[in-house]
Amino acid sequence: MKLHTFPPSPNSRKVELVAHTLGIKLEIVPVNLPAQEHCQPVFLALNPKGMIPVLQDGDFVLPESNAIMVYLAEKKPSALWPSDPRARAEVHSWLCWDLAHWQSTIGIFMFQNIVKPLVLKQGEPDEAMLVAARELLRRHAGVLDGHLAQHDYVVGPQPTLADFALAPVFNFTEMGKIPVEPYGHIRRWFGRIQALPAWKATEPKF
């Protein structure tokens, strides 16, 4: 299986964490985002949405990191994607929250503080966008922190796809100026994720 990806991408790391944990070998096909390779016809023929990561499994092509995580987890059953319907539904619920709320909030910090000034060289961050993002973060990080006050991992007693979906952006809190310092339960949970062999094995090389 091939993973078309830009290696520092947190969305790609979600997939790599799952693949590593399950012992699934992925051939990495680099897509140079700063060089706009994802906007070229060759890549758009693969994924018209113009985004990485994209999984290619023979003639099956699948974009969207959370869908790819589930696809891999269904190929090789494990505790990452629990078989119990309620536990699985809880993981699924956090995957939805990740896409609908968490990623979209963190994405504002990542774009304004990293991609816009450093990659696209489009000037200073938009302060009004950052003010709105800080407000969203207070709400969503508060939810995650409150949940993790009661749980070592997001669902159940060990890591699941929910942890692997939510954790990769924490690598960028400093660079992206994402104000997560007040959230001690999140920080301690992230420490547990960083201690996992899969986390160490998928550390992006800048």
Ligand X SMILES: N[C@@H](CCC(=O)N[C@@H](CS)C(=O)NCC(=O)O)C(=O)O
Contact residues toward ligand X (CB under 6 A) are: 9, 11, 33, 38, 50-53, 64-66
Alpha-helix runs per DSSP H in 3-126 = 10-22, 41-46, 65-75, 85-97, 103-110
- Residue 16 or 64: the one with the smaller Cβ distance to ligand X is 64
- Residue 121 Cβ vs ligand X, minimum distance, rounded to whole Å: 15
Reference 65, options 182, 172, 162; nearest CA is 162
CB 193 within 8 A of CB 159: yes
Cβ proximity to ligand X: between 11 and 112 the closer is: 11
Smallest gap from residue 103 Cβ to ligand X (A): 7
Look up residue 75 and give its two tokens. Answer: 């190929």
CB 112 within 8 A of CB 124: no
Contacts of 203 (CB under 8 A, 6+ apart): none
Query: Cβ of residue 128: shortest distance to ligand X, in angstroms?
Result: 21
Minimal distance in Å, beta carbon 97 to ligand X?
13
Supply 117's token pair.
């000034």
Tokens of 145: 């922190």
Q: Pick between residue 49 and residue 188 the one whose CB is nearest to ligand X.
A: 49
Q: Is the Cβ of residue 65 or residue 113 nearer to ligand X in the bound state?
A: 65
Buried b (16+ CB within 10 A) or exposed e, 142-169: eebbebbeeeeebbbeebbbbbbbbbbb
Query: Cβ 99 to ligand X, closest distance in Å?
Result: 6
Q: Closer to ligand X at the Cβ: 65 or 202?
A: 65
